[in-house]
């Protein structure tokens, strides 16, 4: 797909993003290469839409009227977009010159989604990686970014097919986005991009990591990295994603592992006061999965009927991480008194 002939619509979903939104939009404008920038404001109370309006007419502002969530906000922006390619971009992310062209060029053949090398922090300051594409772990479905918080020492300088693209900055063919029905709005926030890329692979469409494109990302700007609410959404959506997307045998393997995994980490949290709110959030996520079992079943039925690729090929890029290795990770974190017991990005090696 030629970047010269392709119109790219950039969609930025913002909620109380006044701290970064001006710099975010300015970086996109300076980087160029786009057809339009659409900012979907989710009823921010901190003046975010007023800051965006300063860029009019260069930026199209959509006032959603309520906090619809990341998924529904992007879907709203996609419906208003006129580009051939959609670029989903976080309001606390910052573009660099020429970031779009390599991503659009990567959308060829079986590749329908692409993501850049993302640095953690502000432009000119960050030297560590936020994501170099992302992994998914079989069977639990945790989604650690590749290279997270590691130095940019050359290990992630080669393009690669990846399990999924980071929602901090990613591009997707518009026709693919529409075929998949966009992001799953029942997720509200977190895991939507991993779910979207997983569903694309179920249709034979791959996701690519393109290091020639670079972006900076602050991360966890709204809920915070240690938020119990963030853990609740991540856990609930991860479980539903796995139940809906795995073929039957792997779904059963996942369910068995998740019961052991979840029961252990909830029990562990009872013995550590600083982890207790997170353990309760994990339990609440489990309860919500049970309550939404009807929706999960209907969604699973439709997705399994529409898939064209079996799990053997779909899961080829998933890292195999057994339940004992997963639990050993939590044991090590408690011994080290880690700030958060529930962090899938902690390395598995001793």
Token pair recorded at residue 233: 């959404």
pLDDT recorded at residue 266? 85
Region 257-268: mean pLDDT is 86
Do β-strands 85-89 and 8-14 pair in parallel, antiparallel, or remain unpaired?
parallel
305 CB-near residues (< 8 Å, 6+ apart): none
The C-alpha atoms of residue 126 and residue 121 are separated, in whole angstroms, by 5
The C-alpha atoms of residue 260 and residue 332 are separated, in whole angstroms, by 17
Whether the pLDDT of residue 345 is over 50: the answer is no
Region 54-70: mean pLDDT is 91
Token pair recorded at residue 83: 């580009």
Q: Is the dihedral of CA 320, 324, 330, 334 positive or negative?
A: negative
H/E run at residue 94: strand 93-95
Token pair recorded at residue 117: 């090398």
230 pLDDT band, cuts 50/70/90, is confident
Domain ranges of the chain: 8-217, 228-335
Tell me what the pLDDT averaged over the chain comes to. Answer: 91
Place of tokens 């996942």: 254
The C-alpha atoms of residue 349 and residue 329 are separated, in whole angstroms, by 8
Token pair recorded at residue 277: 């709110």
**Considering only 91-100, 254-263, 266-275, 294-303, which range has the smallest mean pLDDT?**
266-275
pLDDT recorded at residue 297? 98
Question: DSSP states of 165-221 as a string?
Answer: --TTEEEEEHHHHHHTTSS-GGG-SSSHHHHHHHHHHTTT-EEEEEEEEEEEE----
Fold of 8-217: Spore Coat Polysaccharide Biosynthesis Protein SpsA; Chain A (3.90.550)
Region 229-255: mean pLDDT is 96
Long-range contacts of 29-33 (CB under 8 A, 24+ apart): 29/55, 29/58, 30/95, 30/97, 31/95, 31/96, 31/97, 31/98, 31/99, 31/100, 32/97, 32/100, 33/3, 33/8, 33/98, 33/99, 33/100, 33/101, 33/104
Region 72-90: mean pLDDT is 98
Percent of the chain at pLDDT above 90?
Answer: 77
Token pair recorded at residue 172: 């997707």
Whether the pLDDT of residue 258 is over 90: the answer is yes
The model's pLDDT over 320-331, given as tens digits with 9 standing for 90+, comes to 988 778 777 777
Token pair recorded at residue 327: 């639990």
The model's pLDDT over 203-222, given as tens digits with 9 standing for 90+, comes to 999 999 999 999 999 986 55
pTM recorded for the entire structure: 0.92
- Bridge partners of residue 83, in order along the sequence: none
The model's pLDDT over 175-198, given as tens digits with 9 standing for 90+, comes to 999 999 999 999 999 999 999 999
Q: End-to-end alpha-carbon separation of the chain, Å?
A: 43
């Amino acid at each position: 797909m030629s970047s010269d002939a392709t119109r790219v619509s950039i969609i930025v979903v913002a909620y109380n993003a006044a701290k970064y939104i001006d710099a975010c939009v300015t970086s996109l404008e300076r980087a160029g290469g786009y057809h339009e920038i659409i900012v979907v404001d989710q009823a921010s109370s901190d003046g975010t839409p007023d800051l965006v309006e300063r860029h009019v007419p260069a930026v199209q502002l959509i006032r959603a009227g309520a906090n619809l969530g990341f998924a529904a906000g992007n879907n709203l922006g996609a419906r208003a977009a006129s580009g051939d390619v959609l670029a989903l971009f976080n309001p606390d992310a910052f573009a660099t010159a020429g970031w779009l062209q390599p991503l659009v060029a990567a959308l060829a053949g079986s590749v329908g989604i692409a993501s850049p090398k993302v640095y953690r922090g502000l432009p000119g300051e960050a030297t560590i990686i936020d994501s170099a594409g992302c992994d998914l772990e079989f069977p639990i479905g945790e989604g650690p970014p590749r290279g997270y918080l590691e130095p940019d020492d050359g290990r992630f300088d080669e393009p690669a097919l990846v399990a999924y693209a980071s929602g901090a900055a990613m591009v997707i063919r518009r026709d693919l986005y529409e075929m998949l029905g966009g992001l799953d709005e029942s997720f509200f926030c977190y895991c939507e991009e991993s779910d979207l890329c997983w569903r694309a692979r179920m249709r034979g469409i791959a996701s690519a990591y393109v290091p020639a494109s670079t972006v900076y990302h602050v991360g966890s700007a709204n809920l915070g990295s240690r938020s119990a609410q963030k853990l609740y959404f991540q856990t609930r959506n991860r479980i539903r994603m796995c139940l809906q997307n795995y073929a039957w045998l792997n779904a059963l393997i996942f369910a068995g592992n998740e019961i052991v995994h979840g029961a252990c980490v909830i029990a562990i949290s009872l013995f550590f006061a600083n982890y207790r709110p997170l353990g309760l959030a994990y339990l609440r996520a489990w309860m919500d999965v049970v309550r939404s079992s009807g929706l999960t079943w209907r969604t699973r039925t439709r997705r399994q009927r529409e898939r064209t690729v079996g799990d053997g090929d779909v899961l080829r890029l998933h890292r195999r991480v057994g339940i004992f290795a997963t639990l050993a990770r939590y044991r090590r974190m408690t011994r080290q008194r880690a700030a958060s017991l529930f962090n899938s990005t902690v390395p598995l090696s001793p």
